[in-house]
Amino acid sequence: MKIWTEKLLQTVEQAESPQELFSRIAETATVLGFDRCAYGMYMPLPVTRPKVVIFNNYSSAWKCRYEEAGYLQIDPTVTHAKKTQLPLVWSDQVFQDTPEFWDEAQAEGLRVGWAKSSQDASFAVSMLTLARATEPLTTSELNTKELQMRWLVDIAHVAFTRLLTPKLSMVPPSPLTLRETEILKWSADGKTAGEISQILTISVDTVKFHTKNAVAKLGAANKTAAVARAAILGLLS
């Protein structure tokens, strides 16, 4: 996992444009077993003209249909992303209130999918969707890959924020302490709070306390997002 995340961070850091960054994210998605990928971000600034930016490798026909039909307004995965950052696995139940949209998506080959949103203190909200035409997303596959998929979501969000919203500062207002940095490093290696407490010979509550402080300083939504942001900012090196 550590080697995988380091390679992913190096990959996104080298991207000089949003389109190049998306191409690198899509390549990683393919390695994870998804040949279709979509990334969208809602940027709250400027306040008078908030923007929605979308990148995907869907067909030109589907892109046009999605825009012309106004599917962004009724897409249940987008609605879900606005309410919660919990992952969403596509199913007939998810699309039960939008049958026409679901039928057209499946006809396009978008039958199996997973989506998750990310948000930070700047209030920029994004969603990454991983999709494919066949092979249902099983519990076994999720158990094996979901941690990497979640990492991809958060790293994509931080990287796109850097390129799309340069006016939104990513530098934490207060520097991380040595203990906070140390705990984030172990978290980046996939260690749990319990494991970190044993490694550092401190209580689990102390680990959680420092983690919570680091998350707040970095303006992240959760520990995973905090680790991703800290890594991209070079705070863990």
Give the Cβ contact number of residue 85 at 10 Å: 18
What is the structure's pLDDT at 101?
A: 97
Average pLDDT over residues 222-237: 79
According to DSSP, the β-strands at 51-56 and 36-43 are: antiparallel
pTM here?
A: 0.71
What is the structure's pLDDT at 44?
A: 63
Q: Which residues contact 215 (CB under 8 A, 6 or more apart)?
A: 221, 222, 223, 225, 226
pLDDT digits (tens, 9 = 90+) for 137-185: 999 999 999 999 998 998 898 888 888 766 444 556 678 999 999 999 9
pLDDT greater than 90 at residue 226: no
| Domains by residue range for the chain, with CATH | 2-164 (3.30.450.80), 178-232 (1.10.10.10)
pLDDT greater than 80 at residue 54: yes
What is the structure's pLDDT at 168?
A: 46
52 strand-pairing partners: 42
Q: What are phi and psi of 231, to 5 degrees?
A: -65, -45
| Nearest to 151, CA basis, from 3, 14, 8 | 8
pLDDT greater than 70 at residue 49: no
